[in-house]
Amino acid sequence: MSKVMHNIEAKTPKSSDMYSKTGEVLAQEIVDTVTMPYPIYIHSGKGSKLTDVDGNEYIDLVGGFGPHVLGNAPKVVTTALKTAVDKGVQFGLQNPYQEPFARLLVESIPCAEKVIFCNSGTEASMFAIRAARSFTGKTKIAMFEGGFHGAHDYVLAKVVPDSNIDEPDFYSMGQGIPEETQSTVKMLPYLNDKAFDLIRKHADELALVMIEPVQGSNPRLDVADFLTELVKVCKEAGVLCLFDEVITGFRLAFGGAQEFFGLEPDMAIFGKAPGGGLPLGVVAGRADIMEVFTRQFDIYDDVSAGVSHEPSVFTAGTFSGNPLTMAAGKAVVTYMRDHPEIYQSLSKNGTRLAEEVNEFCQREEIPGVMSSALSLFYFRMQPGGTIKSVRDINKYTLKEADDLFCLNLLDRGVIMSPMHIGYISAEHTPEDIDIAINAIKESLLEVRKAGLI
């Protein structure tokens, strides 16, 4: 570990300096790092590359944690932002970008008859759950082990690794979440037909089943049958089905996983890509469900006199629908709609990256697995076994080897998320992919040389 760490430390003194001051005032690790004394601070990004504050350039496999389908700082977005910013960045009141962007999303997303805007995937998840509860009059939500639906209390549920494989238990991730919220969640087993029995069994109390159509923690494309059955079972059981497309939306295909798999859930949430790099959350869905957001709450309702309008589902956000996000979103989604060829290059480059890495690992008998779904991947040091659900992942991952691998990658000018979820963009050229593949291979051999695998 020390030689590669020494190299990185020698190349990144400014990052080290910045980090030394951060803890004095910032109580939060913005993002976890691999085992390093300090994180790398990024100065700028363009296309497929990032440059750190010390001037080192990296091939970017972080992708801004997902939004950068068109790479860093695409011209179409920066131009739209420059035009918008001179007119003012925030009004609170309506602005002329909102309706065209909403219309564009409705035309692009198969299940969307109406949308609402908010500021993150987490907010979208929170509002969607509230809408489903209001619409159905039921309280519980079901979600799948290994899924992630944002950072609010109702969804931070993690599977208990050794619990019943057909009916998993869960716990709330981290402290500060009221225990009461757990009674509102049902955890379902992933890629396991017993999930359908549980949905049927609990249909009377379930408002909503949420699923990442492709899980960020376990990207794969062999899920069409499971998703198809899920949509069908939910419909028959009178439980709403929501696709969390925060990662897959406008990435797996222009119309997201629902277009890719040819399915129409009742609702979907989006974030990341359609914001063009600015903070965005979108709830989309059937018009009758989305109506719960638009019914007006009448402050003059006199309940005692029996005069009452049904209250709408409350949503608010100072920055929801702000001009900059709307301008960037409209520009980026329009571009993606008008350039379908980007999805071919994302698919081709992403697939080749995973195939070549996996072939190498098999040939060299190195316990590494790159799970992938086109331009989205997750790399882990895994000593074998098939990854079906998150339980297999937790069981096998070799943490120390994983860390050394990422450090070696960094030293070779390739930056991957410390969580090892990775994204490529339409700006990644075949040459970028070659460099990434070679760096991955060399880094794996270094890990083997260190005796960790």
Shortest spacing between CB 322 and ligand PLP, in angstroms: 15
Shortest spacing between CB 381 and ligand PLP, in angstroms: 22
Q: Among 101, 148, 360, 423, which residue interacts with ligand PLP (rule: CB under 6 A)?
A: 148
Task: Report the candidate in 333, 355, 336, 352 with the shortest Cα–Cα distance to residue 104.
Answer: 333
Report 86-105 residues binding ligand PLP (CB under 6 A).
none
Shortest spacing between CB 121 and ligand PLP, in angstroms: 2
Total residues binding ligand PLP (CB under 6 A) = 13
Contacts 24+ apart (CB under 8 A), 409-414: 409/439, 409/440, 409/443, 410/8, 410/40, 410/58, 411/4, 411/7, 411/8, 412/439, 412/442, 412/443, 413/56, 413/57, 413/58, 413/59, 413/439, 414/58, 414/59, 414/61, 414/439, 414/440
Give ∠ CA 262-268-272 in degrees, rounded to 5: 105
Residue 126, φ and ψ in degrees, nearest 5: -65, -45
Nearer to ligand PLP, 244 or 403 (CB): 244
Structure-token pair, residue 181: 């919220």
Q: Among 213, 216, 256, 350, which residue interacts with ligand PLP (rule: CB under 6 A)?
A: 216
Nearer to ligand PLP, 12 or 72 (CB): 72
Structure-token pair, residue 356: 């070549």
Shortest spacing between CB 414 and ligand PLP, in angstroms: 21
Shortest Cβ contact with ligand PLP: which residue?
Answer: 121
Q: Among 114, 149, 186, 428, which residue interacts with ligand PLP (rule: CB under 6 A)?
A: 149
Bridge partners, 50 (sequence order): 45, 58
Task: Report the candidate in 384, 383, 370, 386 with the shortest Cα–Cα distance to residue 422.
Answer: 370
Structure-token pair, residue 64: 């801004």
Q: Residue 213 interacts with ligand PLP (CB under 6 A)? A: no
Nearer to ligand PLP, 212 or 402 (CB): 212
Report 270-289 residues binding ligand PLP (CB under 6 A).
271
Bridge partners, 117 (sequence order): 282
Q: Among 47, 150, 276, 277, which residue interacts with ligand PLP (rule: CB under 6 A)?
A: 150
Structure-token pair, residue 135: 């619409």
- Strand 421-423 versus strand 414-415 pairing type: unpaired
Report 229-258 residues binding ligand PLP (CB under 6 A).
244, 246-247
Report 114-143 residues binding ligand PLP (CB under 6 A).
120-122, 125
Nearer to ligand PLP, 56 or 371 (CB): 371
Report 8-47 residues binding ligand PLP (CB under 6 A).
none
Q: Catalog residues that contact ligand PLP under the rule CB under 6 A.
A: 120-122, 125, 148-150, 212, 216, 244, 246-247, 271
